[in-house]
Structure 1
């Protein structure tokens, strides 16, 4: 009998330990507060909060004033709430040219700008001549034991394929169906440059194309439009400044001509790039001359960041980061892209969570670890605010133990038949089936964060769906948790899912499920409090093996 009682007591103790103690002031997170804030932030007067617009600046100042009113510490540069960085836009300069011919220079073919080739926006301006070397996908990834350049590219011009090996293979070591960061054009260029290449030529991965090659002239016209686009194309200035060599894209037919020296069809040469561990580079016995002229234009940008200091003398130097993004798609004349769900919902959730922490601190209850509250800018332009923080962190990244990212937490996922490419990879589902559900993306790399969310949810009662970590939608890399995961910070994305109003003028505050949004904000608050209280740090799983397709 005594043994049985001890077993029961042990089981009860374990059960209680697995449950969250209720976070202080959690009831202060209320749907009426969320609704009032969202009707302002996503109202017509905010004009869609597009990057580098007056309305975007007003949104940033409003968030800053709320952080300041709550008594939170500035978490930005020079004692401010602003994390400042520079974006870059690019324009074509004069004199862009390219030609190729025999290695001895006896015959040359000139390429036509925007018909046969065009410079990449991150390309350096300059002129080089070199022998072309086929380098597969142009990827260097030590953690995957993959190197397409070896030591065979120094002094040459790398001809590399778009995308990555096993692009349609859910078991690919390159993050399955998700595009791996090592396979992005920027990382390929930096890898080639580090290996001694004097230039990079990108070409379509022809062996992965089901039909005829893409319409290159249309692609070039979209990349470099004749008229200024409504929404500018940005990158981080720091990234562009790292590129010191010319970078161009060529048509598949030019790729075929460049590869003629390999004495086999280009598509066969391209297939060799699928070799595990990387291709053996192939000199193509052809010389290329590249002259690129790309003007870089600086655009100042900022995210809004606040902190709350923890109470534990040892743990307060570590942080739990809670984030959302405040930018959206702006306005096109009278057409307003309000961005209520994307991501006004995450921002007002962040403000409610910040207020709960502030109220708890006023009542003498502080978390053991410190908290970062981050309102990122320019997520829609490529996660640039979050990426900028990882490039210029104001808290060492190894002191951030977890990142809880809220992006689109206000609707019910809905995927209709024939919904189009925006819903690629997602199964058909109704809004009603997701009335009380939220997706959690990134848990395969972050099982400890999954456990923390499950514990926090015991007192909240949401249906948590752990999915889309390895999905053709590429959702895994489409929000602000992604840059932090790439830099070793455990992170997950809390996301109620895509719907037909996503990135349309119908994403308005009156369509939000405020009852569920209150639950999600409380879930994130509870989970963050628990993570800040725990003596243990969450672990980030390595890249390999790839997660199961879902």
Structure 2
């Protein structure tokens, strides 16, 4: 570097006379060059340009239609949901999005069937010569399709506490495929009353959950599980009375379910298996033992420190839980925006457009749940479609999906991820928007915030991209209260993104949480904060813009579901 500098100075010294003669000219050149550099315009920030097209007034115009009485609460499979689907199809088509569904009467609609079961009285179970009544001696966790719509004879299998962790398995050596299993509530303990199964990173009460035992039983292939409580018959009846009203609500299930996915994490009623709580009396009868016999079994297990073979055998049972069932057709609405050089990779942007319909002659309009997310998706679709029309379209493709039947059990997203229109291997992420138009009970109305859920569960890179987008553009308060381990409300498992996440597709769930009008007929348009709704949608846009235009797709480097 020093030698080059010396040569340059010598050359400059030799040229000085010539330079001196042209001194004014040199000054002019210098000024011109400086002026030209200073006036060079900065490159446009197209992300900011198109995010600005997401405006409160357009969101209001869409939501005034989507959450109107004319759509009758948009209940899956009902006329109001069909009207809402027609509106979304029209809007997607007007934006120039493609309908990507093949084999459908409408390429924007992905039809599928739901089974709807209605409550019927008269359910019973007979065991050991005694009859036990539905909603008196046993009941389910929640509304569910009947496992025994016709009278059925069964030979149950006793599976101890119904748990499996590491080398400990109550299912070892047992064939429960298509059978009905009987399990004790609680966890196995040693002779000093200490739990045999160590937490190993799980919650201390992990196996106290009957739902987790049900998920495991389903994974083992069981048709149903009877969970034995230690409540005597009378106390059990009083406990069950609190569930009676909800158990008479309609139950739903996918008529054509996708391939089974073993999921031992989600704290929710698993589909495809009957889950029943029993009184102590019925539970002992199902196991084929007495209370002293059951206690001796538990003590023997504690002494051994591992599962032991019981000395008792469940008797054959007869069970009938009548339930009228009907088939309903419902639809996901899909709009596809093709990318440029990376068009085979696809980002999904989703919301659910269904709600609770009409109850007792009252329309549940669901303006926030999830009318707010639905109109945000429309605004995002418009922003990206305009960018493409003006020559600034995304490198990767974007699939906008308005899901149906989320309220009934995330069925729209479960069906889509089982039968995707774009291979899941090509799906880089799902940005899901559900309830983003209000301020929840945990924040003051002055705060501009959004809850971020799941962003770091599978991809730390996705998490950073969202945070950078917010820091650069929207500057919202990002609240991660629903993203912590063992979060008590289980928000991560309660919207459509979860069906993508459990198939190892990175997700972000944007929400503002529950408020005083959640799942009430008072969730109406006039309560929506449209300025905040626009800000939250703009954050989704900026994150999406980076995801579809960056060189590499986000990397999956974590697994914390």
TM-score, normalization: structure 1?
A: 0.76
**2-side partners of 1:264 and 1:93: how far apart?**
36
**2-side partners of 1:162 and 1:523: how far apart?**
45
Residue of structure 1 equivalent to 2:30: none
Residue of structure 2 equivalent to 1:190: 218
**2-side partners of 1:326 and 1:154: how far apart?**
39
Does residue 415 of structure 2 align to residue 394 of structure 1?
no
**2-side partners of 1:483 and 1:181: how far apart?**
22
The equivalent position to 1:112 in structure 2, one of 114, 118, 133, is 133
Q: 1:206 to 1:94 in 2, by over 3 A?
A: closer
Q: 1:516 to 1:88 in 2, by over 3 A?
A: same
Residue of structure 2 equivalent to 1:529: 545
Q: 1:145 to 1:304 in 2, by over 3 A?
A: farther
- Alpha-carbon RMSD: 4.1
Q: Is the 8 A contact 2:159 2:183 kept in 1?
A: yes
Does residue 158 of structure 2 align to residue 130 of structure 1?
no
Range moving further from structure 2, 328-337 or 153-162: 153-162
**2-side partners of 1:96 and 1:361: how far apart?**
59
Residue of structure 1 equivalent to 2:283: 255
Residue of structure 1 equivalent to 2:18: none
**2-side partners of 1:463 and 1:456: how far apart?**
12
SS in 1 for 2:103: helix
Instruction: Within 5 Å, give how 1:387-536 maps onto structure 2.
Output: 387-414=414-441, 429-432=442-445, 435-446=447-458, 447-457=460-470, 458-469=472-483, 470-536=486-552
Q: Is the 8 A contact 1:305 1:372 kept in 2?
A: yes
**2-side partners of 1:40 and 1:344: how far apart?**
10
Spell out, residue by residue over 1:505-535, the C-alpha distance to the aligned partner (whole angstroms, 9 max, x if none). 2222122121111111111111111111223
**1-side partners of 2:345 and 2:259: how far apart?**
31
**1-side partners of 2:450 and 2:238: how far apart?**
39
**1-side partners of 2:135 and 2:477: how far apart?**
50
SS in 2 for 1:28: coil
Q: 1:504 to 1:184 in 2, by over 3 A?
A: farther
Instruction: Within 5 Å, give how 1:75-474 maps onto structure 2.
Output: 75-78=100-103, 80-91=107-118, 97-101=124-128, 108-117=129-138, 121-123=145-147, 125=150, 127-137=152-162, 147-154=169-176, 157-160=180-183, 173=202, 183=212, 185=214, 187-193=215-221, 200-203=224-227, 213=236, 215=238, 218=241, 221-222=244-245, 225=248, 229=249, 232-239=250-257, 249-259=277-287, 261=289, 264=292, 282=310, 284-292=312-320, 296-312=325-341, 315-333=342-360, 335-414=362-441, 429-432=442-445, 435-446=447-458, 447-457=460-470, 458-469=472-483, 470-474=486-490
Spell out, residue by residue over 1:74-127, the C-alpha distance to the aligned partner (whole angstroms, 9 max, x if none). 1334261111111111257899653333xxxxxx33333443246862515563
**2-side partners of 1:164 and 1:46: how far apart?**
48
**1-side partners of 2:500 and 2:336: how far apart?**
18
Q: Is the 8 A contact 2:258 2:414 kept in 1?
A: no
Residue of structure 2 equivalent to 1:34: 59
TM-score, normalization: structure 2?
A: 0.75
**1-side partners of 2:167 and 2:85: how far apart?**
43
Q: 1:353 to 1:129 in 2, by over 3 A?
A: closer
**1-side partners of 2:302 and 2:403: how far apart?**
37
Range moving further from structure 2, 291-300 or 86-95: 86-95
- Equivalent pairs counted in the alignment come to 487
Is there any run of 5+ residues in structure 2 with no aligned partner, and where? 3-44, 189-194, 261-270
**1-side partners of 2:335 and 2:210: how far apart?**
28
Q: 1:50 to 1:271 in 2, by over 3 A?
A: farther
Q: 1:191 to 1:412 in 2, by over 3 A?
A: same
Spell out, residue by residue over 1:391-447, the C-alpha distance to the aligned partner (whole angstroms, 9 max, x if none). 222222221110000001111121xxxxxxxxxxxxxx34336x2010001134142
Tell which structure's C-alpha radius of gyration is larger. Answer: 2
Post-superposition offset of 1:336:
2.9
Q: Is the 8 A contact 1:97 1:112 kept in 2?
A: yes
Spell out, residue by residue over 1:245-290, the C-alpha distance to the aligned partner (whole angstroms, 9 max, x if none). 9875533431144346376576897899999x99667574231323
Post-superposition offset of 1:345:
0.6
Higher relative contact order (CA 8 A, sep 6+): 1
